Chains A and B, each alone.
Chain A
Amino acid sequence: MNKQTFLKNLEKELRRLKKSECKKYIDYYDEIISDIMDKGVSEEEAIKRQGDVKSITDEILSNVNPKELKLFDLKGLLLAILSVIMILICAIPDAFTNLFNVQMNSSVSIIGGADGPTSIFIAGKIGAPTWMYVITAIVIVLTAIYWIKRIRQRNRS
């Protein structure tokens, strides 16, 4: 493993930290490894001396000040956005689900097509398909679990 790979791995393991905090650790190890190499130690050996990246980062993260952690991470943010979108789709059937219903209930529409306005009325009444509600519920639960875990972790550390 060369220095670049070592620092890359370090950065990857420290992605929970704020960018500026992460950079401090990277700079520190960059400097130390360079200094060891200046003493005539090989790159390979200098890195071996640091030990395993995972144990370094585990130690850093277990003693981390909560202020140094990112408030939002990509996963949590995406989950939150996804659940909001899903709730909107379920809550405002007219605006969103008609889009789905055109496809989902196309057979209904065709059969009922002869009846004219009635079919449209029925299609509109159905609202979001049941599986949408189920998935929305699952996404909300997942998001809640994720954030509760995260906030607990922050408070503990």
Chain B
Amino acid sequence: MDSQLRKGLVEYCILAAISREDCYGYKLIEDVSPFMEISESTLYPILRRLETAGKVKSYNTEHNNRIRKYFSITDTGKQALRDFEKDKHEIIRVLDYITGGSIDE
């Protein structure tokens, strides 16, 4: 997939995964990688961006005598997902236009 397009989508994938349940880094990779290829080194910048934007927040818990950082969604994050949902039809329409209508909805 084109890297620019990927970048935007993968961010929403991560956000969606976090919205379903609080997640830690490795779990996010496991959850999202069936849909989009994501590596450890690409995940972290995304998490930071989401956190800086206030869409997710993080907290630490102890697991097997070590610290695990969990991420949970905020109201801003939920709103971002709702906005994306609203744009869904527009996005599909654009995709249709680009591919000349050869995409089946």
Contact = CB atoms under 8 A, between A and B. Distances in A.
B26 A28 contact: no
Interface stretch (A30-38, A115-123, A130-138, A139-147): A30-38
Interface in A31-72: 31-32, 34-36, 38, 49-51, 55-56, 59-60, 63
A30 B39 CA distance: 15
B64 interface: yes
B102 to A, nearest CB: 35
A31 B41 contact: no
Which one of B40, B44, B68 has the greatest number of beta carbons of chain A within 10 Å? Answer: B40
Contact of A63 (B25, B40, B45): B45
Contacts of B69: 27-28, 31
Interface in B52-79: 64, 66-69
B24 A35 contact: yes
Contacts of A30: 66
Nearest to B25: A32
Q: How large is the interface on B (under 10, 10 to 19, 20 to 34, 35 or more residues)?
A: 10 to 19
Nearest to A36: B26
Nearest to B27: A35
Interface in B7-29: 24-27, 29
Given A27-B67, A27-B69, A28-B69, A35 B41 contact: no
Contact of B41 (A36, A38, A51): A51
Contacts of B66: 30-31, 34
Given A28-B69, A31-B66, A31-B69, A59 B41 contact: yes
Given A36-B26, A51-B39, 18 more contacts: A25-B44, A27-B67, A28-B25, A28-B69, A30-B66, A31-B26, A31-B67, A31-B68, A31-B69, A32-B25, A32-B26, A34-B64, A35-B27, A35-B68, A51-B41, A59-B41, A59-B45, A63-B45
Interface of A: 25, 27-32, 34-36, 38, 49-51, 55-56, 59-60, 63
